[in-house]
């Protein structure tokens, strides 16, 4: 028998029941499309190996420092050289810093750009084992302080800025106002540290510097063959005390011995892929589980449809068997129908998944790692094919068992018009519908809990006012702004211009905006007169450089004292602290007794006087406690021990109307002062606020979509079963109506059956949800995993939908004329 002759009867049979075929294909396409899209996402982010040489040997190196409440501390210059010199478990190690630089054309041929950049040691390229597309990486000489100014660029930058010039190596690029020679081009697959990185510069650390410096560098290392993560942990812990051989002092007045004693650093390594994806892995697996629920519910629905259709054709099947067709051949025909349906549904699902992936990638949070690597690849196609085959088997097995267990004579007797479904048949169909309701409850309750978390976070009072505020980041290159005076003069002139613009109510500058990571700087706080800190490291504070207009612009309240004056009147020995800091060190959140007190960052720096206390803000995250912050003035350094003004600052502008309307005018003001200076991360503060919840919003979006699809498919399944049960009970209903039963009583009886079926599903769903709710705990804020309000609302919604899905076919039956029903029967 040819393939076409085998397939033709299947398609002919499916064409005779277009409603069934279309419903089954759409239902399975939804389930398979969701599963394929999420598989591609999980595969691209979590499963696919990193695009580096021998990626399983790559690790990130961190420090757990319980003494200063830092559980994922970076590297210092001296820890890097300690591990590089003494660790026997590492084949190589490198450190790096992420950031951005200004890229400008000295000839004025192109607009200035802000480019994502990484500064790294010469050893990083060999650690990752990715050869350059052109040229080379850095040499040891180029990685020394004051070494040659060289740069490695990305393939994207090579193609967009240099037109894929094959002779690009040796050409120059102006980076932060200084000319650098291009020595290499990295291929597009090299996405380190992030996919946005387009430029790499040598870090140029000084091995013999007097002080170790802060924990400012990320580290990547390659384990030697055969070395395990646990063995590397032990090795690094054993050699860490030799840090004192490299740098006896961490900073002026702070010895390395004090660091080891007080902070109690414990080095540990994490497989690089786990380190990159660790923050999102749980969320993605929850999303994958939601997609799995959609597919399971779709399978249950289609299985029910196939079962109903098979039982409706029971007599036809029996006749075919009686005429000589074997039962195996008949069952094979039903399996072939399932394969045909899932094949079409799989093809539609893959196409839908490709579109859904584009949407997911565009809506995905910027911090989602490896997002640029997500696409429909051969592994995804293979997954779709295997999933379609499994679904075909699952959708066929229940109908096959039901038909295979029915004797021929009974099938001939029960397959007529007046036949009714057996209790076993009704239980099977009812069980499938209850399973759909149970899974729908799990998906709905999960998305409901996340929605309540989203509402709680939106209701948080962050300590600042985001409405009507536009923000602009800029970085003054040292080549053109070499002195502190030039930096302060530029920002002072810019503030004067911006404050004079129509519609501007207030303007200020800051080295860090709330809820952003740019400009993060944590340092100790040594209060005057507290001898307990002479031999211990105090808690770290966020240090932010601002001008006096920043607080008014951001709506941060003044609690006590005063704020800073204009840039030309600010003093380097003054500071403002948050209420949280005032309470931490002085036990006074009102700030009244704090004004006039003094502190310093490290024991060797000059004392600074507190002139004001402002309201605490949630600087790091809406779900975190109010931050402890020290605000420093953006002024000239009074001595070499002082921090001077910051070159990279954000301009915040409060307007009388729409914040985005002021962007062109502010951009012109910057261009008038310095045409070569690029603005970056230009956005209103509400966008910053939303971005801080991007991962939660993404999870809600995906889980919400899964819940809605699951709910819709479950409702359709319940409606289909109830409609079929009603059609099989038509004679019984006709008799009831003829004997005097009211149509309302008939409708109530049939609706009650559907509601009871849904109630059973809800009961099972609550048990399932109790088992899986703990996995949501890390995503919830202010809401318990077993929140009764969410579970009650979800259950009531499912009951209402079940009642409606049952009421519609019941009402149609109750309107029939009993005489017509009995005459037909």
Residue 822: its H or E element: helix 818-824
Question: Do both 806 and 783 map to the same domain?
Answer: yes
Strand spans (E) along 641-691 = 648-655, 680-684
Question: Do both 442 and 520 map to the same domain?
Answer: no
719 or 823, greater pLDDT: 719
Find the domain containing 329 and state its range: 1-56+276-416
Residue 825 has pLDDT above 70, yes or no: no
Question: Do both 366 and 409 map to the same domain?
Answer: yes
Which one of 612, 639, 673 terminates a domain? 673
For residues 736-741, average pLDDT: 64
For residues 146-151, average pLDDT: 94
- Cα separation, 289 vs 443, in Å, equals 9
Alpha helices in 95-208 (DSSP H): 124-128, 155-162
Question: Do both 630 and 758 map to the same domain?
Answer: no
- Cα separation, 130 vs 39, in Å, equals 27
Which one of 361, 394, 416 terminates a domain? 416
Residue 663 has pLDDT above 80, yes or no: yes
Q: Is residue 785 part of a domain?
A: yes
Q: Is residue 70 part of a domain?
A: no
Rounded to two decimals, the pTM is 0.78
Q: What is the pLDDT of residue 6?
A: 54
Q: How confident is the model at residue 736 (pLDDT cuts 50, 70, 90)?
A: low
Question: Do both 521 and 643 map to the same domain?
Answer: yes
Q: Which of 85-89, 488-492, 731-735 has the lowest mean pLDDT?
A: 731-735
Question: Do both 440 and 398 map to the same domain?
Answer: no
Q: What is the pLDDT of residue 52?
A: 94
Question: Do both 753 and 802 map to the same domain?
Answer: yes
Q: How confident is the model at residue 738 (pLDDT cuts 50, 70, 90)?
A: low
The per-residue b/e assignment along 495-523, b for 16 or more CB within 10 angstroms, e otherwise, is bebbeeeeebebbbbbbbbbbbebbebeb
In this structure, what are the phi and psi dihedrals at residue 799, rounded to the nearest 5 degrees?
Answer: -65, -45
Which one of 416, 449, 472 terminates a domain? 416
Q: Are the CB atoms for 562 and 611 separated by under 8 Å?
A: yes
Question: Do both 234 and 326 map to the same domain?
Answer: no
Q: Is residue 62 part of a domain?
A: no
The model's pLDDT over 409-441, given as tens digits with 9 standing for 90+, comes to: 444 455 444 444 456 666 777 777 788 788 888
- Cα separation, 215 vs 352, in Å, equals 46
Q: What is the pLDDT of residue 416?
A: 45
Q: What is the pLDDT of residue 418?
A: 42
- Cα separation, 552 vs 545, in Å, equals 15
Question: Do both 327 and 395 map to the same domain?
Answer: yes
Q: Is residue 684 part of a domain?
A: no
- Cα separation, 583 vs 246, in Å, equals 38
Q: What is the pLDDT of residue 305?
A: 76
Q: Is residue 264 part of a domain?
A: no
Q: Is residue 259 part of a domain?
A: no
The model's pLDDT over 311-370, given as tens digits with 9 standing for 90+, comes to: 655 555 655 555 555 556 666 777 787 888 888 988 998 998 888 888 877 777 766 788
Question: Do both 384 and 449 map to the same domain?
Answer: no
For residues 533-561, average pLDDT: 88
For residues 110-114, average pLDDT: 75
Question: Do both 493 and 638 map to the same domain?
Answer: yes
Q: What is the pLDDT of residue 2?
A: 45
Q: How confident is the model at residue 443 (pLDDT cuts 50, 70, 90)?
A: confident
Q: Is residue 258 part of a domain?
A: no
The model's pLDDT over 213-264, given as tens digits with 9 standing for 90+, comes to: 888 899 999 999 999 999 999 999 999 999 988 888 887 777 888 888 888 8
User: What total of structural domains would you count in the chain?
Assistant: 4
Q: Is residue 466 part of a domain?
A: no
Question: Do both 306 and 195 map to the same domain?
Answer: no
């Amino acid at each position: 028998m040819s393939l076409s002759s085998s397939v033709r009867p299947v398609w002919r049979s499916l064409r005779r029941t277009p409603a069934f075929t279309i419903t089954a294909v759409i239902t399975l396409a939804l389930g398979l499309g969701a599963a394929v899209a999420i598989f591609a996402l999980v595969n691209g982010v979590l499963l696919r190996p990193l695009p580096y040489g021998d990626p399983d040997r790559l690790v990130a190196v961190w420090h757990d420092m319980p003494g200063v409440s830092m559980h994922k501390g970076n590297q210092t210059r001296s820890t890097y050289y300690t591990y590089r010199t003494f660790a026997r478990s590492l084949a190589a190690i490198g450190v790096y810093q992420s950031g951005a630089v200004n890229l400008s054309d000295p000839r004025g041929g192109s607009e200035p750009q802000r480019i994502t950049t990484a500064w790294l040691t010469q050893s990083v390229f060999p650690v990752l084992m990715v050869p350059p597309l052109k040229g080379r990486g850095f040499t040891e000489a180029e990685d020394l302080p004051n070494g040659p100014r060289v740069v490695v660029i990305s393939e994207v930058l090579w193609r967009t800025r240099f037109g894929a010039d094959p002779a690009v190596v040796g050409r120059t690029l102006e980076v932060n106002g200084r000319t650098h020679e291009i020595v290499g081009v990295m291929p597009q697959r090299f996405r380190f540290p992030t996919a946005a990185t387009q430029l790499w510069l040598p870090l140029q650390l000084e091995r013999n510097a007097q002080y170790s410096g802060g924990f400012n560098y990320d580290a990547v290392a390659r384990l030697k063959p055969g070395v395990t993560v646990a063995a590397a942990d032990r090795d690094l812990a054993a050699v860490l005390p030799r840090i004192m051989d490299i740098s006896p002092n961490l900073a002026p007045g702070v010895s390395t011995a004090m660091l080891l004693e007080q902070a109690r650093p414990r080095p540990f390594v994490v497989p690089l892929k786990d380190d990159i994806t660790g923050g999102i892995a749980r969320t993605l697996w929850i999303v994958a589980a939601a997609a799995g629920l959609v597919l399971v519910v779709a399978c249950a629905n289609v299985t029910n449809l196939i079962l109903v259709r098979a039982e409706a054709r029971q007599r036809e099947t029996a006749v075919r068997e009686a005429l000589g067709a074997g039962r195996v051949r008949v069952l094979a025909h039903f399996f072939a129908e399932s394969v045909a349906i899932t094949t079409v549904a799989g093809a539609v699902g893959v196409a839908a998944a490709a579109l859904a992936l584009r949407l997911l990638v565009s809506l995905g949070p910027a911090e989602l790692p490896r997002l640029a690597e997500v696409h429909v690849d051969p592994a995804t196609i293979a997954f779709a094919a295997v999933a379609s085959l499994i679904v075909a088997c699952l959708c066929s097995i229940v109908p096959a068992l039901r038909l295979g267990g029915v004797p021929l004579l009974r099938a001939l007797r029960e397959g007529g018009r007046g036949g009714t479904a057996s209790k076993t048949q009704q239980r099977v169909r009812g069980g499938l519908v209850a399973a759909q309701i149970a899974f729908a409850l799990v998906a709905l309750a999960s998305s409901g809990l996340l929605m309540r978390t989203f509402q709680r976070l939106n209701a948080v009072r962050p300590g600042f006012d985001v409405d009507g505020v536009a923000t602009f980041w800029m970085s003054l290159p040292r080549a053109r702004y070499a002195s502190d005076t030039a930096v302060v003069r530029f920002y002072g002139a810019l503030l004067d211009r911006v404050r004079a613009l129509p519609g501007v109510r207030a303007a200020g500058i800051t080295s860090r905006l709330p809820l952003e990571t740019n400009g993060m700087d944590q340092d100790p706080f040594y209060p005057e007169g507290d001898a307990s800190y002479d031999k211990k490291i105090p808690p770290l504070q966020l240090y932010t450089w601002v001008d006096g207009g920043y607080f008014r612009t951001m709506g941060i309240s003044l609690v006590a004292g005063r704020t800073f004056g204009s840039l030309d009147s600010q003093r380097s020995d003054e500071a403002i602290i948050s209420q949280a800091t005032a309470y931490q060190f002085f036990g006074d959140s009102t700030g009244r007794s704090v004004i006039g007190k003094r502190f310093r960052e490290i024991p060797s720096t000059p004392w600074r006087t507190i002139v004001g206390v402002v309201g605490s803000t949630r600087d790091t995250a809406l779900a975190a406690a109010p931050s402890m912050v020290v605000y420093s003035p953006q002024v000239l350094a009074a001595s070499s021990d002082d921090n001077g003004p910051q070159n990279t600052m954000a301009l915040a502008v409060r307007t009388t109307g729409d914040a985005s309307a002021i962007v062109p005018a502010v951009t012109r003001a910057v261009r008038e002062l310095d045409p070569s200076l690029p603005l970056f991360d230009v956005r209103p503060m509400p966008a910053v606020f939303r971005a801080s919840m991007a991962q939660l919003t993404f999870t809600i979006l995906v889980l919400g979509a899964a819940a809605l699809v699951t709910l819709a498919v479950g409702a359709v399944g319940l409606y289909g079963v109830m409609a079929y049960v009603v059609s099989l009970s038509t004679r019984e209903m006709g008799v009831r109506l003829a004997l005097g039963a009211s149509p309302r009583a008939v409708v109530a009886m049939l609706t009650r059956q559907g509601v009871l079926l849904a109630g059973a599903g809800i009961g099972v769903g609550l048990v399932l949800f109790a088992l899986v709710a703990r996995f949501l705990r890390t995503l919830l804020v202010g809401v318990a995993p077993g929140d009764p309000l969410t579970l009650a609302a979800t259950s009531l919604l499912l009951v209402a939908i079940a009642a409606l899905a049952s009421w519609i076919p019941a009402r149609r039956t109750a309107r029939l004329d009993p005489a017509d029903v009995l005459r037909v029967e």
